[in-house]
Amino acid sequence: MPVLWESGAMTDRGLRLSRALLIAGFVLASLNLRPALAGVSPVLSEIMADLGLSAAGGGAITTVMVVCLGVLAPLAPLLARRFGLDRTLLAGLLILAAGVALRAAGSVPALYAGAAVAGTAIAIMNVVMPAVVKQHFPSQVGLFTSVYVSGLVLGAAVASGLAVPLERAGGYGWREVTAMAAVPAVAAAVLWLPQALRRPAPGGGAPRSFRAVLGSRVTWAVTAYMGLQSLTFYIVLAWVPTILRDAGLPADQAGYMLGLTNLAQIAATLTVPVLAGRARSQVPHVTVAALLTIVGYVGVLAAPAVVPWLWMIVLGLGQGASIALALLIIALRAPDPASVTALSAVAQSAGYVLAALGPFLIGVLRESSGGWTLPLLAGLGACGLQLAAGFLAGRPVAAGAERARPATVTEQG
């Protein structure tokens, strides 16, 4: 009996250790979803000066990565079907580390090639993370969606906030600072290795899942919601500091306001998916998130310099809730990890391509109109479309409404 008890105790300890490694690896992986993107802009002027890049050439570093997020997202379901979700996530982390290191090698070709490699890795990880939640935490989808979306936002905030202080404190150049993003990627890969070494779960047939989701009306509602909330977010990310500076705020205060938006996003991503994940319908949540975003846009349009901190908090809450809800709905509306991966690939591929157009079109409107009224009104129009798409994506699917087979997009998975 003592031997059996001891064996059982060791088994329990082993299970607890395995669970702890799973959660730790998952959390650290989530923190790697944005630093490679967010860490470039604080040192962009130094990169341009060092390599002799124009403004367009400097902006192309991030553009290459964002385009990869959309165009290469469909690779993820094929890799997951062949190798399993856990091994695909491990591969994404290792490719990310390699891309970041290549980008910092010091030549212009390496800069853009590394950006493309890193963008490919992030595209793969973006798609598989909702499916990893579905596979490993099927009864806690809301909670672990909250965990990884919060990690995504926090990773971006830390990378953008620490780039210049690390550069100054350590006497580093842009190469060393941007290469540091490879360190957490390798650490996450080490923690995730035990999951990847296990026998892969059945892939569930990515082609079958693709056919099913492409034939579902819910897929296109989810895709529209993902794309429109991303578009309204990237408009704010790209232009709000300039809007506030044009309204009379000093440059440093305009930058702080964008940072305040990021903090407010974390508050939303920590709470909203947990609450919305328990509900049968997410319509009330997407409605509130869209209305908060609209109020923030209206505030920036009507009185940008009066209480800018209030508009930034409201925008952060609305947009943080929106991205969290988009990723939560992807996990809830498909019944199994393979279908989640396929739905995630479709929604994020089209979504990021649409989002990449937002800042450019707003810039065109600003240049043609000579002010910010028309661009912000266009942003408000996109918020209205986001609300409509969220209503369709957030409501539960009525029984029999979709005629696709059981592997199709469904109500709650």
- For residue 183, the enclosing domain spans 17-198
CA distances from 318 to 101, 122, 287 (A): 35, 24, 10
60-112, pLDDT tens digit by residue? Answer: 787 788 888 888 888 888 898 889 999 999 999 999 999 999 999 989 999 99
Please give the mean pLDDT across all residues of the chain: 84
Give the list of residues 6+ apart from residue 89 with CB closer than 8 angstroms, or none. 29, 124, 125, 128, 129, 132, 192, 195, 196
Q: In terms of domains, do 40 and 180 share one?
A: yes
Q: What is the Rg, in whole angstroms, of the alpha carbon atoms belonging to the chain? A: 21
Q: In terms of domains, do 231 and 170 share one?
A: no
Q: In terms of domains, do 239 and 150 share one?
A: no
200 pLDDT band (50/70/90 cuts)? low
Q: What does the alpha-carbon distance between residue 96 and residue 92 come to, in Å, rounded to a whole number?
A: 6
Residue 100 sits in a domain whose CATH number is 1.20.1250.20
**351 pLDDT above the threshold of 70:** yes
Q: Long-range contacts: 51-54, Cβ < 8 Å, 24+?
A: 51/107, 51/108, 51/111, 53/108
Q: For 152-194, give the DSSP string.
A: HHHHHHHHHHHHHHHHHHHT--HHHHHHTTHHHHHHHHHHHHH
**383 pLDDT above the threshold of 70:** yes
Kindly state whether residue 7 falls inside one of the protein's structural domains.
no
**208 pLDDT above the threshold of 50:** yes
Count up the domains in the chain and report the number. 2
Q: What is the pTM of this model?
A: 0.80
**405 pLDDT above the threshold of 50:** no
Q: What does the alpha-carbon distance between residue 245 and residue 242 come to, in Å, rounded to a whole number?
A: 5
Give the list of residues 6+ apart from residue 331 with CB closer than 8 angstroms, or none. 130, 131, 133, 134, 141, 145, 340, 413
Q: In terms of domains, do 166 and 307 share one?
A: no
Q: In terms of domains, do 305 and 350 share one?
A: yes
